[in-house]
Homo-oligomer: A and B are copies of this chain.
Amino acid sequence: MNETLEDVTTIFTDFLAKKNLRMTNQRNLILKMFLSTEKHVSSDDLYSLIRKQDNTIGQATVYRTLKLLAEAEIATIVEFGDGVARYEHIYLHQHHDHLICEGCNIHIEVVDDDIERLQVRLAKKYGFTLTSHKMYLYGKCEKCQNISSL
């Protein structure tokens, strides 16, 4: 997981080619901006960012491209439950799960190898092979535990 922008662009271009789709200036720019973000961006977030560089781009194009990036497995969807689809990129960014404080809403990205192993075992028990997973842990961080005990 140490790909450069060029590498990922090639991956996306190849993905597009396989589906008889074309790499365009718009798609290129959207990918570049998307990879330059940290954390989770909604289509609208990304649209705003891109408009600063090119205000001729259409919002629908951003939606369409993010869907393609998810299909190409360059982006994954993260759902916070507010009805907005957010995306994060896999490159320059490892797999992780989410630890979320219900008090202050802070998000911490976590990974636990033991859990990952047990997930595979659990799936196997049902005859499944695992390709991915999403795990969200909700609770209270240290600060908010104290606050709520007042």
Contacts and interface: CB of A to CB of B under 8 A. Distances in A.
A137 interface: yes
Contact of A133 (B79, B114, B129, B137): B137
B122 A128 contact: no
B122 A112 contact: yes
A49 interface: no
B128 A99 contact: yes
A85 interface: yes
User: What band does the interface of chain A fall in when counting residues whose beta carbon is under 8 Å from B?
Assistant: 35 or more
A126 B138 contact: no
- Copies of this polypeptide in the complex: 2
Given A79-B79, A101-B128, A137 B122 contact: yes
A136 interface: yes
Interface of chain A, main secondary structure: strand
A59 to B, nearest CB: 17
Contacts of A119: 115, 135, 137
Contacts of A140: 128-129, 131
Contacts of A139: 123, 128-132
23 contacts: A81-B85, A99-B122, A101-B128, A108-B126, A110-B122, A112-B118, A112-B122, A115-B115, A115-B119, A119-B135, A123-B139, A126-B141, A128-B139, A128-B140, A129-B145, A131-B140, A132-B138, A133-B135, A133-B137, A134-B134, A134-B135, A134-B136, A134-B138
The 3 residue pairs across chains A and B that have the minimum distance between CB atoms:
A127-B142, A130-B139, A128-B139
